[in-house]
A and B are shown apart, each in its own frame.
Chain A
């Protein structure tokens, strides 16, 4: 359905003609995101130049019954910004990309939603502070997208995820009215914790206009190491052992055998091909001595739990080399076959061996190539299915395998998604993990905040 030219004109009056995209070639590039799903071209694309125009755009669209999808950089992996049908509006946050304040005394920052994560982290670091959430897409993802997906990253175990840094925000509701929640203070109990509700809302409850983020002092020292295992159970025991010793590494990553093979094929860096798994561990802290002690203890635990080899990085260069394996996990897997289906099933960390074993079984059953890497510290695994989406028969097997991976994750008391979100891809699975009442509750909530069901229809809860 086309949008009337009169209405398009109204959007142009609000945002400026140059910020309203009507041509098919332009609209088409907002029909997809990083999920392997069928694209849907929106009827109109608008990029408000400032917060005030964002509010007016939301109001005008809502008043005219236009479905609204708000889009950051379009890097989510669950179809979160693919319009449900071709009759709606996509609102871009890319012009709302100013850092409004960085407060070094009170340790917070105020930003617009279109600021790029890594750019923000770099500016914060320039002020001698630290913004820890580091999703793999941080070079391009937006902070608004991070909040709406509650993005995680490598540092999740020790430093938490995006929601742990949201102190407050301003949100446009469906009438285009500005709603305020939270504050610049560490403590704040004024009103509902709506910022909490908005974290992970995937564009379905309201449109963020600005966000207040907590900042922390950076660690003063860190140390990285790699442990090699002939048996993945022993890697898992190591993880449990480290936590039991009250050491919380800032990163604790795992690569399984198939993933190691692909990384070696791509980098030829001399990865231990016979290994069943490797762990990459980094400890950090406020004191070099404490970090040293933790390192010694972690090495001991690795060895006690049966690591066949433990390597420690003595300097920045060696640290870089150790991390190379992890950095190359996705590139290596992605290059192996045309299509990469990046999954995100998450289980309690003690269940990692069971989950990896199950994934390998599923790979065998459906004759698929699946490499698994992920965040061992928080049980967040990324089984990555390598395939070719043009091969219909194979892709059916991929879909069946994905369903089965979810099934196993739920059986192991895990969850559908640790960080990639529900979007369109997993909405039909929500009830299976929760129950009917949860879905009804979510729908009531959604109806109250979006009575016409126009905010990102078809995502999250159906």
Chain B
């Protein structure tokens, strides 16, 4: 058989796998409204970059109208998975679900790129190994990371440039959070509540102050904490790269780990982890046993963002908002506002910070352009989108920027540092903890 007919037959096979998405794809009415919110489209103005374009391409691939699976895959990967399109879609298209599943199907068909394979298959599923790997690089990075901007605590490395581009990323913490504290199991105090605590990879490795602040806050409000050791990644980086196998393994591992304890809420300072646990885990159940599915359902109900927990559940007392003091502005992390619908509560907390006043930046809920590994593989596009965020931030002359997601913190620090803006970037919970 000639190579061409062979590949044609393969594409047909891919097409039939994509038919599983048919019911979701067909609900896109091609209205184009997603153009108004898609950060990638905003930067490139290319129809293939917007949800409508991607969905049309997938439909054509599913109907064998196009044979260029690689081309479609490249377009699919030009996406921050920010969910802005889904949130604003008049037709209720589940675009995130579509994109994640499609990435899995197409990657399954084409194979994972070798670099991603090492990271996802080798390191992420084995948290121990991943941590050791990062710890070693953490120890050595002082040798080749030079301080780029001390206020921000970011450093850029000429040696690492081929891998990370010209990124000013925060130095890996001298000691990741899990090395400071590997596990915790404290009883519910006066609050009568106990939380399960999932710090998340980015907090753990780059911003250990954030989970530390979380614990201070919980302690202060007498909330018991269950933090099992050896937590794995929430799975989203693997899933976004189409590596469903790794993703499923990570989910299973975490589900078993957490369900071994008893608690009222599952809390993470990472909006992306929270959204993954609450919105994505329950949607992709095919690979799991009935038991695991039930547990995923349970965790979904218990998962809550930390600001929402403080404001809605604990109802912490706060001073009245102030029109004076240092200026703080707030960036809505996509996974917090668009996926979890949390936008009021962090503002309530910031408004109550003594000595600070909250000033809104324009387009506060426009994506910062990070999108997890998107920023590694499409750094130019990512920073073009990030620059708009930076310009919006700077336009309100803040003394600090707050947000609810460590991934956004990383991106915003990078953008500010590149522009030589000396504006610190903080997690809402860090600022709140400082007031206690």
Query: Which residues of A are at the interface with B, using a C-beta cutoff of 8 A?
Result: 23-26, 28-36, 39, 47, 73-75, 92, 94-95, 116, 118, 137, 139-140, 330-331, 334-335, 338-340, 388-390
Complex CA distance for A25 and B58, rounded to whole angstroms: 10
One of B31, B47, B57, B74 near A137 (C-beta < 8 A): B31
Residue of A nearest to B26 (CB): A338
**A32 and B31 form a contact (CB under 8 A):** no
From residue 44 to 77 of chain B, which have CB atoms closer than 8 A to chain A? 45-48, 52-53, 56-57, 60, 65-66, 68, 71-72, 74-75
**A389 and B56 form a contact (CB under 8 A):** no
**B46 and A26 form a contact (CB under 8 A):** yes
Interface size class of B (residues with CB under 8 A): 20 to 34
Complex CA distance for A94 and B65, rounded to whole angstroms: 27
Complex CA distance for A350 and B52, rounded to whole angstroms: 39
**B33 and A137 form a contact (CB under 8 A):** yes
**A25 and B71 form a contact (CB under 8 A):** yes
Residue of B nearest to A32 (CB): B30
**A25 and B36 form a contact (CB under 8 A):** no
For A75, what are the chain B residues with a Cβ–Cβ distance below 8 Å? 31-32
Complex CA distance for A389 and B418, rounded to whole angstroms: 50
For B45, what are the chain A residues with a Cβ–Cβ distance below 8 Å? 47, 92, 94-95
Whole-angstrom distance from the CB of A341 to the nearest CB of chain B?
9
**A24 and B29 form a contact (CB under 8 A):** no
Whole-angstrom distance from the CB of B309 to the nearest CB of chain A?
26
Q: Does B262 contact A (CB under 8 A)?
A: no
For B27, what are the chain A residues with a Cβ–Cβ distance below 8 Å? 335, 338
Contacts known (A26-B46, A29-B57, A74-B47); A334 close to B29, Cβ less than 8 A: yes
**A140 and B36 form a contact (CB under 8 A):** yes
8 contacts between A and B (CB under 8 A): A25-B72, A29-B46, A29-B48, A31-B56, A34-B30, A34-B31, A339-B26, A390-B26
Contacts known (A334-B91, A338-B26); A25 close to B57, Cβ less than 8 A: yes
Whole-angstrom distance from the CB of A343 to the nearest CB of chain B?
14
Contacts known (A25-B48, A339-B26); A334 close to B33, Cβ less than 8 A: no
Contacts known (A338-B27, A388-B26); A137 close to B66, Cβ less than 8 A: no
**B46 and A137 form a contact (CB under 8 A):** no
**A28 and B60 form a contact (CB under 8 A):** yes
Residue of A nearest to B49 (CB): A29
One of B22, B23, B57 near A28 (C-beta < 8 A): B57
Whole-angstrom distance from the CB of B76 to the nearest CB of chain A?
10
**B47 and A331 form a contact (CB under 8 A):** no
For A25, what are the chain B residues with a Cβ–Cβ distance below 8 Å? 48, 57, 66, 68, 71-72, 74-75
For A388, what are the chain B residues with a Cβ–Cβ distance below 8 Å? 26
Chain A contact residues, majority secondary structure: loop
One of B26, B35, B46 near A73 (C-beta < 8 A): B35
Q: Does B187 contact A (CB under 8 A)?
A: no
Q: Report the 3 A-B pairs with minimum CB-CB distance, sorted nearest first.
A: A29-B47, A25-B71, A139-B36
Residue of B nearest to A327 (CB): B90
For A331, what are the chain B residues with a Cβ–Cβ distance below 8 Å? 90-92
Complex CA distance for A116 and B41, rounded to whole angstroms: 13
Whole-angstrom distance from the CB of B267 to the nearest CB of chain A?
29
Q: Mark B83-118, 1 if CB is under 8 A from A, else 0.
A: 000000011100000000000000000000000000
For B26, what are the chain A residues with a Cβ–Cβ distance below 8 Å? 338-339, 388-390
Contacts known (A73-B35, A75-B31); A330 close to B90, Cβ less than 8 A: yes
**B29 and A339 form a contact (CB under 8 A):** yes
**A23 and B47 form a contact (CB under 8 A):** no
For B53, what are the chain A residues with a Cβ–Cβ distance below 8 Å? 29
**B29 and A340 form a contact (CB under 8 A):** yes
**B33 and A139 form a contact (CB under 8 A):** yes
**A24 and B68 form a contact (CB under 8 A):** yes
Residue of A nearest to B60 (CB): A28
One of B33, B35, B56, B92 near A32 (C-beta < 8 A): B56
Residue of B nearest to A138 (CB): B36
Complex CA distance for A388 and B65, rounded to whole angstroms: 20
Complex CA distance for A39 and B60, rounded to whole angstroms: 10
Complex CA distance for A47 and B27, rounded to whole angstroms: 29
Residue of A nearest to B44 (CB): A94
Contacts known (A29-B53, A30-B47); A24 close to B71, Cβ less than 8 A: yes
**A23 and B71 form a contact (CB under 8 A):** yes
Residue of A nearest to B75 (CB): A25
**A73 and B32 form a contact (CB under 8 A):** yes
Residue of B nearest to A30 (CB): B47
For A339, what are the chain B residues with a Cβ–Cβ distance below 8 Å? 26, 29
For A28, what are the chain B residues with a Cβ–Cβ distance below 8 Å? 48, 56-57, 60, 65-66
**A334 and B90 form a contact (CB under 8 A):** yes
From residue 1 to 57 of chain B, which have CB atoms closer than 8 A to chain A? 22-23, 26-27, 29-33, 35-36, 45-48, 52-53, 56-57
For A95, what are the chain B residues with a Cβ–Cβ distance below 8 Å? 45
Could you list 13 further interchain pairs (A-B, Cβ under 8 angstroms) beyond the known A32-B56, A140-B32? Answer: A23-B68, A25-B68, A25-B75, A29-B53, A116-B36, A137-B32, A137-B33, A140-B33, A140-B36, A331-B90, A334-B91, A388-B26, A389-B26
One of B23, B30, B33 near A33 (C-beta < 8 A): B30
Complex CA distance for A24 and B61, rounded to whole angstroms: 12
Residue of B nearest to A95 (CB): B45
One of A74, A94, A140, A335 near B91 (C-beta < 8 A): A335
For B65, what are the chain A residues with a Cβ–Cβ distance below 8 Å? 28
Residue of B nearest to A77 (CB): B31
Residue of B nearest to A116 (CB): B36
**B32 and A34 form a contact (CB under 8 A):** yes
Complex CA distance for A137 and B32, rounded to whole angstroms: 8
Complex CA distance for A92 and B31, rounded to whole angstroms: 17
Residue of B nearest to A76 (CB): B32
Contacts known (A28-B60, A28-B66, A29-B53); A335 close to B30, Cβ less than 8 A: no
For A335, what are the chain B residues with a Cβ–Cβ distance below 8 Å? 27, 91-92
One of A140, A334, A340 near B35 (C-beta < 8 A): A140
For B56, what are the chain A residues with a Cβ–Cβ distance below 8 Å? 28-29, 31-32, 39
Complex CA distance for A25 and B68, rounded to whole angstroms: 8
Whole-angstrom distance from the CB of B60 to the nearest CB of chain A?
6
For A31, what are the chain B residues with a Cβ–Cβ distance below 8 Å? 56
Q: Mark B266-281, 1 if CB is under 8 A from A, else 0.
A: 0000000000000000
Whole-angstrom distance from the CB of A386 to the nearest CB of chain B?
11
From residue 316 to 331 of chain B, which have CB atoms closer than 8 A to chain A? none
Complex CA distance for A56 and B394, rounded to whole angstroms: 40
For A338, what are the chain B residues with a Cβ–Cβ distance below 8 Å? 23, 26-27
Complex CA distance for A331 and B74, rounded to whole angstroms: 31
Whole-angstrom distance from the CB of A148 to the nearest CB of chain B?
16
For A74, what are the chain B residues with a Cβ–Cβ distance below 8 Å? 32, 47
For A35, what are the chain B residues with a Cβ–Cβ distance below 8 Å? 30
For A137, what are the chain B residues with a Cβ–Cβ distance below 8 Å? 31-33
Q: Mark B384-411, 1 if CB is under 8 A from A, else 0.
A: 0000000000000000000000000000
For A29, what are the chain B residues with a Cβ–Cβ distance below 8 Å? 46-48, 52-53, 56-57
Complex CA distance for A29 and B50, rounded to whole angstroms: 10
For A389, what are the chain B residues with a Cβ–Cβ distance below 8 Å? 26
Complex CA distance for A47 and B46, rounded to whole angstroms: 10
For B91, what are the chain A residues with a Cβ–Cβ distance below 8 Å? 331, 334-335, 340
Whole-angstrom distance from the CB of B18 to the nearest CB of chain A?
15
Whole-angstrom distance from the CB of B119 to the nearest CB of chain A?
27
Whole-angstrom distance from the CB of A334 to the nearest CB of chain B?
4
Residue of B nearest to A94 (CB): B45
**A24 and B66 form a contact (CB under 8 A):** yes
Residue of A nearest to B28 (CB): A338
Complex CA distance for A116 and B32, rounded to whole angstroms: 13
Whole-angstrom distance from the CB of B370 to the nearest CB of chain A?
24
For A92, what are the chain B residues with a Cβ–Cβ distance below 8 Å? 45
For B47, what are the chain A residues with a Cβ–Cβ distance below 8 Å? 29-30, 74
Residue of A nearest to B45 (CB): A94
